[in-house]
A and B are shown apart, each in its own frame.
Chain A
Amino acid sequence: MKMRKLAAFALSTVMAVSTLAMTAMASDDWKSFKIDPAQIPQEKLDTTLSVACSIRGLENPYINTIKVGMEMFCEYLDSIGQKYEMQVLDSGGSNDTEINNMKQFAAKANGNAIAYSDPNESAICTALVEAMAESGGYIGTAWNREEEDTVTDYDPNWVIHTSPDNVVNGEAIATALFDQMGGKGQIFVLEGMLGNTASNDRVAGLQNALEKYPDIEVVAQDTANWATAEALTLVETWLSQYPEVGGIWCANDNMATGALQALENAGLKGKVGVVGIDANTDIVEAIAAGDATATVSSNGYLQGGYTLAICYAAWAGLIDPAELPIEYREFATPATVITSENVEQYIADYIDATPEFDFSEIWWCKAD
């Protein structure tokens, strides 16, 4: 009896230590994990997999790149001989539609489904995940979720949640602007819609940068509601009050377009720095022409393609999401700050051409 207890204790200790060792090792190794098509059972390859991206509407240039990212990933599926069906779930900005779309999609696929989802609002994130989890499919979400939600709530079906870091991006463009201004001078601030999480986080990033540059003074700050025309009107009015302004910080590129137009009309384009976020084509081109200072690309291709790649690895049985370290399931995706230094390269890679990715290295999309 005593011997048995001792043996059991010894055995369990060994098991615990080895498990610990395995996870410790695994944690370092995941970054270099590669999909090996040879390990995917033929039975899986012959099953028709339903692939979808659930999005707000294709009229926005950024969201369109997510769809293209999915198409690029599907080309990868072709290359390894996986049968699939691809679908765009367009919610048109409606919470109900997005949930219903996801329910129908998941039910139809009967567990053989993977999806990228950009929840229309944080509140519906878990409803989308639940729809997928009930059917046994795999989902990765981006941008919006409630703070208390975590992927482990729906093991293993909620594979990942990712988002570019809005605070970091807001600070990065501010820093680029302040450096261009020589660290001193007046700036205007154009916020997005009041109370919007993305806008608030980007403004918080701006505040961080302002603390590091004490000689930069915010002389005017207001919301232009993400809109070009409102941004134009605000900057036009402010310019007659503060003609000495050195830079304009905008929470997105639509507003940066309006700010640039106001500068153009006042004959100040190119003399006052302008920064935004989204990498809209006209702002990228303005950076190349020396009229704007910086913008940030969230790289929708990468978000759409790699989220599906990680979900695919889970569906194919190559990874078990429940066993993954949390930092491989909830992480920031890289964002590229575009300035005059790398704008030519960005135009060559992303505007004149579509980028190429190796989707077998599924965690290449992790920022750190």
Chain B
Amino acid sequence: MAKENQAALTIQEEFAKKIKAENRREKIIKWAPVLVLLALIVVFTIARGSAFASVSNLVAILNQWAIPLIVALGLTFVIMLGGIDLSIDGTVGMAGSIASVLVMNTLNDNNFGIFGIIIAILCSVVVGFFVGLFHVKLKIPSFMVSFAFMNICTGIAYLSYSGTPATVSDPVLKALPKVSFLGIPFITWVALVMLLLCIYIQEYTPFGRYIYAVGTDETIPRSVGINVDHVKIKVFTLAGFLFGVAGVVGLIRLGQGQAGIGKDLMFPAQAAVVIGGTSLSGGKGGVLNTVVGTLIMTVLINGLTMMGVNPNIKTGIQGIIILVAVILTTKRGATVISK
């Protein structure tokens, strides 16, 4: 009897020990992205000193951070579901291009002002809704549907200005890239507002909790009566909204509407979300992880540019650092690596 008790205690103790060790590991993993970010900042500051750590470069980094952050926020929810959204390059370019031909511009006589911007974002919201709808109702993998929509949206973007990109001439939009408040550029404020919105959705709404539940194992929320399909469609629609905002921010930044606004945003955004600690298998991570992930990507590209690395090897170095960051920051040992 006593022996049995002792054995039971040992098992309990062992279990508690294991849990403690796992918690400790989780804590380290949780803070790993922040450590990677700090390491990058330290390395670049040592290498480039005052130029990297200068106020003007800080503003440049904030400017370059805005669009990747907004895009990655939208993608974070999709990845938390266990899905993927490849439509980014197209929807962002489309929203920027449509907005450019609706506000006061050099190509036509339109001048819808703020309504032009709202229409452009709505177009992107509709695309997000359709991606979700086709994915859920027709049971097509999200990456396939969103890939198709990337092409459709790029086509719409080309069509909207047919060959000659429109330059914005609206005085307010033109002035915005130079506007800053508390030293932070306007477009970064837009990104921060989107960040607050996403934190609110994730932390303080039932919808936010459902996303985790669906991402972890969708049979459980389904069995308690949550409409999983609606959650998924809502997530893709929310992503569409954020991609639309990113397109308009891209237009403000560039001063010219073109499909190129969205070019090559998608994979860096995926990388940022994963480096931040959101798991591709769904159910884990979140908005704050993405903040760190996008900062890592932005600081990395900015720093490498400043180092004057030979362009022929720069992309390769960038890839190696991303790989190292992923190795350091993602939790391994899970049975499902990605899906």
Contacts and interface: CB of A to CB of B under 8 A. Distances in A.
Interface in A196-247: 220-223, 227-230, 232-234, 236-241, 243
B57 interface: yes
B311 A282 contact: no
B63 interface: yes
Given A222-B305, A241-B306, A194 B263 contact: no
Contact of B163 (A60, A238, A264): A60
The main secondary structure of chain B at its interface with chain A is helix
B232 to A, nearest CB: 31
A64 interface: yes
Contacts of B308: 220
B51 A241 contact: yes
A60 B162 CA distance: 9
A4 B51 CA distance: 90
A230 B254 CA distance: 10
A261 B305 contact: no
B63 to A, nearest CB: 6
Interface residues of chain A: helix, strand, loop or mixed (majority): helix
B64 A236 contact: yes
Given A61-B164, A227-B263, A237-B302, A257 B256 contact: yes
B128 interface: no
Nearest to B54: A240
Given A191-B311, A228-B260, A241-B57, A265 B178 contact: yes
B254 A237 contact: no
B177 A265 contact: yes
A238 B253 CA distance: 17
Interface string A178-197: 00000000000001001000
B177 A222 contact: no
A239 B177 CA distance: 16
Contacts of A61: 163-164
B25 interface: no
B163 A58 contact: yes
A322 B165 CA distance: 44
Contact of B311 (A222, A233, A240, A243): A222
Nearest to A222: B311
Contacts of A194: 311-312
A365 B4 CA distance: 101
B261 A229 contact: yes
Contacts of A41: none
Point out which of B59, B263, B305 has the most chain A C-beta atoms below 10 A from its C-beta.
B305
Contact of B255 (A220, A221, A240, A264): A264
Interface in A276-329: 281-282
B5 interface: no
Contacts of A29: none
Contacts of B314: 222
B87 interface: no
Contacts, number: 81
Nearest to B167: A282
Contact of A232 (B54, B254, B264, B306): B254
B335 interface: no
A186 B137 CA distance: 58
A254 B63 CA distance: 20
B338 interface: no
B250 interface: yes
A69 interface: no
A258 interface: yes
Contact of A240 (B51, B165, B254, B264): B51
Contact of A228 (B48, B256, B264, B301): B256
A239 B55 CA distance: 12
A64 B163 CA distance: 8
A229 B261 CA distance: 6
Most buried by B among A229, A232, A233, A236: A229
A154 to B, nearest CB: 33
B311 A261 contact: no
B159 to A, nearest CB: 9
Nearest to B253: A232
Contacts of B264: 230
Contact of B48 (A232, A239, A241, A258): A241
B158 interface: yes
Interface in B19-60: 48, 51, 54, 56-57, 59-60
B237 interface: no
A28 interface: no
Contacts of A236: 60, 63-64
A74 to B, nearest CB: 21
B330 interface: no
Nearest to A281: B164
Contacts of B202: none
B258 interface: yes
Contacts of A237: 57, 60, 64, 302, 305-306
A239 B164 CA distance: 28
Nearest to B162: A59
Contacts of B64: 233, 236-237
B286 to A, nearest CB: 27
Contacts of B57: 237, 240-241
B177 A264 contact: yes
B151 interface: no
A61 B177 CA distance: 27
Contact of B254 (A222, A234, A243, A261): A261
**Which 8 A-B residue pairings sit nearest by Cβ, starting from the closest?**
A240-B56, A240-B57, A241-B51, A265-B177, A237-B305, A222-B311, A236-B60, A223-B311
8 contacts: A222-B314, A236-B64, A237-B302, A237-B306, A261-B256, A265-B178, A281-B164, A282-B256
Given A227-B260, A236-B64, A237-B64, 20 more contacts: A191-B311, A194-B312, A223-B311, A228-B254, A228-B260, A229-B250, A229-B254, A233-B64, A236-B60, A236-B63, A237-B306, A240-B51, A240-B57, A240-B60, A254-B260, A258-B254, A261-B177, A261-B256, A265-B253, A282-B106
Interface of A: 58-61, 64, 191, 194, 220-223, 227-230, 232-234, 236-241, 243, 254, 257-258, 261, 264-265, 267, 281-282
